[in-house]
Amino acid sequence: MTLDRFINKSRKPKMDRDLEKKPIASTQIQEELLEDSIREQPKIEEKRIDEIPIEAEDGIYMLVSANYSSSDNKPYLLFYDIKNHRIIKWMDVTDHHPYAYSKEPIESLESLPLIVERMNKQQILGLRTEEKIDPLSDKKIQVTKIIVRDPLIIGGRADSLREQIKLWEADIKYYVNYIMDLGLEVGSYYFFDPQGLPRRYIFQPSKEIRKAMEKLSDEERKWLERLAEPVVDFKRIALDIEVYNPRGVMPQPDNPEHPIFIISLCSSDGLKKVLVYDLRGDISNEGIKNDKFDVEVFKNEIELIKRALDIIREYPILITFNGDTFDLPYILTRSAKLGFKEVRDFIERGRNEIRITWGIHIDLYKFFKNVSIKTYAFSGAYDIISLDSIARALINKGKMETPGHFDEMSIQEIIEYGFTDAELTLELTQFNNNLVMRLITIIARISNMTIDDVTRLSVSNWIRNRMFYLHRNKNYLIPRSDEIREKKWGRHFQPVTKGKKYVGALVIDPKPGVHFNVIVVDFASLYPSILKEYNISYETVNCPHDECKTNLVPETTTWICTKKKGLISEFAGIIRDIRVNVFKKLSKDKNVSRDNREFYGVIQRALKVIINALYGVIGADTFQFYYLPAAEAVTAYGRYVIKKAIEKAGELGLEVIYGDTDSLFIKDPDMDKLELLIEDIKKEYRLQLEIDKIYKYAVLSSRKKNYFGLTSEGIIDIKGLMGKKSNTPPFIRNVFYEILDKLRTVEDIEQFKMVRKDIIEIIRDAETKLINKEVPLEELVITITLSKYTDQYTKTTPQHVKAARKLEKAFGIRLQPGHMIKIVKTRNNDGVAPIELVRSVDQIDSKKYIELLHSTLEQILEVLDIKVNKGKKVVMIDERKVSLDKFFKF
DNA sequence: AACTGTGGCTTGCTTG
DNA sequence: CAAGCAAGCCACAGTT
């Protein structure tokens, strides 16, 4: 099988490099050799094309990925051909080589036996002095660039250079360096000049983007231009395999003893196909006909796999759900076992991923598992990372219900089941006008990271990657994380909570009760704004200049640089500004076409993911530019400005009844005074306060982070209350929501009184059902995540762990961290059991559930003067308490 | 020796 | 990332 579509645009080097044959005697010669090979990086030029529709242009490619080829000993780039919808592999023609930096001068490096030995072995190609700026000392320094033959000489092996001498920039993946050195931007478009070098091709921005650009700085304009470029509708195919495994045995890629018997395929250009290996020889053509997709039957497993490869090779992008850990490795190992060795020409194992040789493989499982994607891009719409749960949440479709094992299903059912998986996988990349593919591309543009990495790595890696580039642009030597940590810390506060590293946000004590007409104002993206406005970055906090030491962060001994703009601060500023000032506005602008509006919405969302994570990563020790004093400075300013805002509100006669981190709840304010407050904060602190929402009424409990309210749009907004939490039983949660639903209609006291009777009725009814054991088991399930292996709970044994251990014992299995345990409160010795082991409702501990019902409802009822009598099984109104009337005296 | 009450601590989930 | 909540575990002290 040949891959004729696989165009390799690289040119053969003119001659076999002399450099690699002769031993290198002195740096003098190396200098000369390096002169033409490394020093001259190509300058990538730009070309502007006016208003050309994206599909029409020939020879235009989007840079989507890169890697290092150890067989060619060269880096390569992968481009998506937007006309012919295939991937072009472009091998380096610039004689670029891997490198890292040392702070030792050339002479002392040359006297090191290690270096001499590696030079003689041709592993080190050359040493060169360069001038860089050290961001930590803010001084120009001389560093030695060590240029090597292949990336493993720098790092990745036990005897690599970085394990033996102190190096800088030695943990940047080689292809990342390569992209940066060539000045390339992932997700942007290129064409190839006559020399075969990629040149930037810039689409003419839309009218509204051009208009927005007028007011911006050059740097911001570049960002805008890059982000707003159209995203091609990638041609892609989703794949899903079924393995015929005996009951109770999970197929393992490391031991592929069971046959692959179904391969389902579903593509963006309408291919719908299920390939079946007739392993029992009993499939009739009649029985498998289906009007939704084609079916092909094979008498041989290898033929099945080969056919699948033939089809998917027509697609530049392969989409899977768990393809990195299951489908593709299984195809690999199973093929090898069956003697189909050529499979390695198409599917390759990477370090943490599986690659396809003709294109890009995206494993959606990893992408949707990404915490930032889950919480910020999709607002936590799905909770379990499974195809079924994600598809249900995002496209309102689930997997097929099955009896549990293939033996109990007809072949038609199995085929349909398999196809549904492939179909859902594809649809997850298609809904909302290809939202997911666009999101991935935009994040690649923001982070300048390859599509493969964007879909597999976390937000701190995305940010780190862009930070590298920002350092390079300023000729900064990228600091090692240990250097940043060794900087002065000078911390003065003990965190409030044990186990935390620094002090966080301020939460104001709520004023309990029912409050009418509450306006919530909040600081528009407070932490990013603080990062920007107060110049916070790892190098500017506690900077080396004496003259900055008086620029103190309020209530700390930390100071901030007044001479140089910090990199993180600058990045936060740009991302925040273009999000707020451009994309958020345009995504709501009625004068913009619907398509564009939607696209700007995606960009806005991607920027939000990054901006929300920025502060967090500074305080996370897994981040290369982690620096606690910087994270602490952010929260210190945050506490400072919210205190000042409350102070000012008080002076103006506004009543603040609650606030959390960046928000203030103001009761029935005079709008002119509110306006004054906002103006004052803007003037004084360069931060924007804005009206977030208005509650017709807000019900605050005495607990922080626990309240609900009826918004001006007529929606009941619930925060923190137990009834909302995922680990309350559905039965209790439903009662909770039923009560809140009653409250939705309330506008005055009479209605409140009427509703109160209804509420008590609801609760009594619920109690009766519990006592009479009329509630089905599933309604009483409490779902709790197992966050460790059961044997790793050493300090205490929580209830869900007890239940989990029973499950493990009963089924002889080992539950994985992240598994959701479904427990039920029972009347046995330790009060819990996994629902799987409970036969009937009789085993339920009704008393426990009534207690749980009461404590859940108490949070809302205490404020409404409905008393729950603990112990007793009845609810009563505490008539002695003042009635609701007090809330209406205004 | 069995029971009850208390407080520190762990765990999981949510808010911002 | 920290703050904050509820539930439950667990050791300990003080009854009965």
Tell me: the pLDDT tens digits for A106-145? Answer: 999 999 999 999 999 999 999 999 999 999 999 999 999 9
Cα separations in angstroms, A64 against A80, A97, A333, A432, A575: 6, 21, 28, 22, 22
Our measurement of CA A83 to C1' C11, in angstroms, reads 72
Residue A504 tokens read as 């966080």
Q: Does residue A749 register a pLDDT over 80?
A: no
Residue A778 tokens read as 């599933």
* DSSP designation for A341: G
* DSSP designation for A804: H
Only one residue has tokens 């509420």, namely A759
Up-side HSE of residue A301: CA atoms within 13 Å toward CB?
21
Q: From the alpha carbon of A797, which nucleotide's C1' atom is closest? A: C9
Up-side HSE of residue A486: CA atoms within 13 Å toward CB?
7
> pLDDT (tens digit, 9 = 90+) per residue, A608-655?
999 989 999 999 989 999 999 999 999 999 999 999 999 999 999 999
Cβ contacts of residue A510 below 8 Å, gap of 6+? A657, A658, A665, A700, A701, A702, A703, A704, A706, A707
Q: From the alpha carbon of A703, which nucleotide's C1' atom is closest? A: C5
User: Among A279-293, A321-335, A393-407, where is mean pLDDT lowest?
Assistant: A279-293
| Chain B nucleotides covered by protein, CB below 7 Å | 9-16
Give residues lining strand C (CB < 7 Å).
A 495-497, 500-505, 507, 615-616, 619-621, 631, 635, 703-706, 720, 722, 795-799, 802, 825, 830-832, 848, 852, 855-856, 859
Question: What percent of chain A has pLDDT above 70?
Answer: 90
**Residue A785 beta carbon within 7 A of nucleic strand B:** yes
Higher pLDDT pick, A241 / A760: A241
Q: From the alpha carbon of A719, which nucleotide's C1' atom is closest? A: B15
pLDDT confidence bin for A547, thresholds 50/70/90: very high
Our measurement of CA A7 to C1' B5, in angstroms, reads 78
> pLDDT (tens digit, 9 = 90+) per residue, A81-97?
999 999 999 999 999 99
DSSP assignments along A715-760, one per residue: -EEEES-GGGSTTS-HHHHHHHHHHHHHHTT--SHHHHHHHHHHHH
**Residue A663 beta carbon within 7 A of nucleic strand B:** yes
How many residues does this entry show for chain A?
A: 890
Q: What is the pLDDT of residue A811?
A: 86
Q: What is the pLDDT of residue A37?
A: 41
Q: From the alpha carbon of A728, which nucleotide's C1' atom is closest? A: B13
Q: What is the pLDDT of residue A435?
A: 94
Reduced to 3 states (helix: H, G, I; strand: E, B; else coil), residue A157 is coil
Contact by Cβ (8 Å): A697, A732: no
Residue A886 tokens read as 């007090």
Q: From the alpha carbon of A635, which nucleotide's C1' atom is closest? A: C2
Instruction: Report the pLDDT averaged over residues A148-167.
Output: 94
What pTM was estimated for this model as a whole?
0.87
Our measurement of CA A796 to C1' C10, in angstroms, reads 8
Degrees, nearest 5: CA angle A292-A296-A301: 135
Q: Does residue A447 register a pLDDT over 80?
A: yes
The CB density around residue A640, as the number of other CB atoms within 10 Å, is 17
pLDDT confidence bin for A326, thresholds 50/70/90: very high
Which residue has the closest alpha carbon to B10 C1'? A796
Q: What is the pLDDT of residue A47?
A: 54
pLDDT confidence bin for A869, thresholds 50/70/90: low
> pLDDT (tens digit, 9 = 90+) per residue, A327-356?
999 999 999 999 999 999 999 999 889 999
Q: What is the pLDDT of residue A210?
A: 94
Which residue has the closest alpha carbon to B16 C1'? A661
Residue A100 tokens read as 């890292």
Cα separations in angstroms, A307 against A28, A274, A311, A443, A838: 57, 11, 6, 34, 47
Q: What is the pLDDT of residue A11?
A: 31
If we measure between CA atoms, which residue out of A702, A762, A754, A707 comes closest to residue A732?
Answer: A762
Q: What is the pLDDT of residue A44?
A: 54
Our measurement of CA A795 to C1' B8, in angstroms, reads 13
| Chain C nucleotides covered by protein, CB below 7 Å | 1-10
| A488-514 exposure pattern, b = at least 16 Cβ within 10 A, e = fewer | ebebeeeeeeeeeebbbbbebebebbb
Residue A870 tokens read as 């603990």
Residues forming beta bridges with residue A146, ordered by sequence position = A100, A127
Q: What is the pLDDT of residue A560?
A: 96
Residues forming beta bridges with residue A355, ordered by sequence position = A348
Our measurement of CA A335 to C1' B4, in angstroms, reads 66
Our measurement of CA A198 to C1' B12, in angstroms, reads 51
Q: What is the pLDDT of residue A828?
A: 79
Contact by Cβ (8 Å): A466, A613: no
Higher pLDDT pick, A803 / A860: A803
The CB density around residue A585, as the number of other CB atoms within 10 Å, is 15
Residue A136 tokens read as 């930590």
Q: What is the pLDDT of residue A380?
A: 83
Our measurement of CA A102 to C1' C8, in angstroms, reads 54
Residue A624 tokens read as 């290369």
pLDDT confidence bin for A492, thresholds 50/70/90: low
Count of helix runs (H) and strand runs (E) in chain A: 27, 29
Q: Find the helix packing angle between A459-473 and A174-181, rounded to 10°.
A: 40
Our measurement of CA A619 to C1' C1, in angstroms, reads 6
Higher pLDDT pick, A323 / A777: A323
What backbone torsions phi and psi does residue A281 show, to the nearest 5 degrees? 65, 30
Our measurement of CA A387 to C1' C6, in angstroms, reads 32
Q: From the alpha carbon of A707, which nucleotide's C1' atom is closest? A: B15
**Residue A498 beta carbon within 7 A of nucleic strand B:** yes
Reduced to 3 states (helix: H, G, I; strand: E, B; else coil), residue A704 is coil
Cβ contacts of residue A795 below 8 Å, gap of 6+? none
Q: What is the pLDDT of residue A360?
A: 97
Residue A790 tokens read as 């059961």
Instruction: Report the pLDDT averaged over residues A253-267.
Output: 95
CA distance A591 to A645: 36
User: Among A151-155, A492-496, A661-665, where is mean pLDDT lowest?
Assistant: A492-496
The torsion region of residue A379 among left (phi > 0), alpha (psi -120 to 50) and beta comes to: left
User: What's the one-letter identity of residue A753?
Assistant: K
Helix, strand and coil content of chain A, in percent to the nearest 5, comes to: 40, 20, 40
Which residue has the closest alpha carbon to C1 C1'? A616
If we measure between CA atoms, which residue out of A136, A134, A139 comes closest to residue A542?
Answer: A136
Q: What is the pLDDT of residue A328?
A: 97
**Residue A798 beta carbon within 7 A of nucleic strand B:** yes
Our measurement of CA A495 to C1' B8, in angstroms, reads 18
Instruction: Report the pLDDT averaged over residues A572-592.
Output: 93
What backbone torsions phi and psi does residue A86 show, to the nearest 5 degrees? -150, 170
Which residue has the closest alpha carbon to C10 C1'? A796
If we measure between CA atoms, which residue out of A680, A638, A678, A632 comes closest to residue A659?
Answer: A638
Our measurement of CA A764 to C1' B2, in angstroms, reads 37
pLDDT confidence bin for A880, thresholds 50/70/90: very low
pLDDT confidence bin for A514, thresholds 50/70/90: confident
pLDDT confidence bin for A246, thresholds 50/70/90: confident
Provide the mean pLDDT of chain A. Answer: 87
Q: Does residue A825 register a pLDDT over 50?
A: yes
Reduced to 3 states (helix: H, G, I; strand: E, B; else coil), residue A434 is helix
Contact by Cβ (8 Å): A261, A277: yes
Q: What is the pLDDT of residue A281?
A: 78
Q: Does residue A31 register a pLDDT over 60?
A: no
pLDDT confidence bin for A527, thresholds 50/70/90: very high
